[in-house]
Amino acid sequence: MGEGLSDKLKGAVNKGKGEAKEQVGNATGDKKKQAEGKLDKLKGEVQDKIGDLKDKFSK
């Protein structure tokens, strides 16, 4: 397995969690929840990119 798999999995979880939070925030008009969701999605994107880099440099 690649070195970055763990980071990619964490990234996917955070992106999913962020999407859910953002949708709840959109549905309820909760700006704080929307912002938390966007932040979680961004965190997930960064973790995914870190996983890609680890895989690239571990070869």
Q: pLDDT category, 4, cuts 50, 70, 90?
A: confident
The confidence score (pLDDT) of residue 1 equals 53
Token representation of residue 26:
């959109």
- Whether 54 has a pLDDT exceeding 90, the answer reads yes
The reported pTM is 0.86
- Whether 49 has a pLDDT exceeding 90, the answer reads yes
Q: Indicate the SS3 state at residue 1.
A: coil
Average pLDDT of the segment spanning 23-48: 98
C-alpha angle 10-16-22 in degrees, rounded to nearest 5:
130
